[in-house]
Amino acid sequence: MVFFEKHGGVEEKEFFRYFSFVNDSFPLHFHRAYELVFVEEGELLLTIDQNEYRLKKNDLAFIFNHQMHEFKTITQSNITIILFSPELIGHFFSNYKGYIPKNNLLHLHKAPNLTAIDTIYSQKSFLYYLCSLLIDNTEFLPVEYSTKTKVLHKILLYVDQHYFQECTLKAVAAHLKYDYPYLSKLFAQMTNMSFSEYLNQYRISQACYLLKNSQQSIGEIANQCGYQNLRTFHRNFKKITNQPPRTYRDMGAASQ
């Protein structure tokens, strides 16, 4: 699901896109776009900048650009994710640049009808309504990007750019000109997982997207996601998703 990382570049002015996911999880990542995570049914464990939120039906998380976040399904979940560029809410973006919400969570009385939000005017109206709710319901704190946070951003960006090839923390250390032991310790402290665990989760998340949205063979997808050994791909996929790739693809096709 590399599109999460690519959305929100300065070349993409005023874009608004949404996606539906059932019983999905996504590893730690960040991007320039704002992101809304809305729970239609079930429960979701969402982590934003190391703060944990347990989202239930009609809960919405408003994630600011460059906030590091990940989510995991609790038993079952049906969620909608909306990604939009800062330019769509330019006035809010300008006023709150350099700040993040103390509490990213909002509760809506009902699910938004996204099919009706089909013009730039309705999109801006909907988003500014949520901005107003956020302002009324939380404080905003200045962003304090520590050296450690900046380094972690660089590590995650390296994975985004190299996950499909040989990608090791030693290569990252050489690229960033940091000591390998320091990066290993920093990554574990800030993500509660090892670099190899994160890389596997990222690769499998990318494979999940391709299984649902392409006609490529499982072998081609495995190779495209950085796995030279198909057996290793199958083992890691089942470990992370609790099902083999073909079952995952078949279930996705059945739900469409």
Spatial distance between the Cα atoms of 162 and 158, rounded to a whole number of angstroms: 6
pLDDT for residue 32: 87
In this structure, of 29-33, 100-104, 179-183, the range with the lowest mean pLDDT score is 29-33
Spatial distance between the Cα atoms of 155 and 9, rounded to a whole number of angstroms: 19
Nearest to 29 by CA among 48, 10, 16: 48
Q: What is the mean pLDDT of the chain?
A: 91
Domain 3-142 sits in CATH 2.60.120.10: yes
Q: What is the pTM of this model?
A: 0.83
Q: Considering Cα of 156, then 191, then 223, then 181, what sign does the dihedral take?
A: positive
Check whether 7 has a pLDDT greater than 70. Answer: no
Decide if 77 contacts 43 (C-beta within 8 A).
yes
pLDDT for residue 141: 94
Using a pLDDT cut of 70, give the percent of the chain over it. 93
Helical spans, DSSP H, in 22-109: 90-96
End-to-end alpha carbon distance in the chain: 18
**Is the pLDDT higher at 20 or at 130?**
130
| SS3 (DSSP) at 222 | helix
Spatial distance between the Cα atoms of 167 and 216, rounded to a whole number of angstroms: 23
Q: What value does the mean pLDDT take over residues 11-25?
A: 82
Task: Report CA dihedral (190, 173, 70, 137) to the nearest 10 degrees.
Answer: 60
CATH number for 147-255 (one of 3.50.50.60, 1.10.10.60, 1.10.3720.10, 2.60.120.580): it is 1.10.10.60
**Is the pLDDT higher at 125 or at 10?**
125
pLDDT in tens, 77-112: 999 999 999 999 999 999 999 999 999 999 999 999
Q: For the chain, which residues make up each domain, given as ranges?
A: 3-142, 147-255
pLDDT for residue 11: 45
Q: What value does the mean pLDDT take over residues 53-77?
A: 94
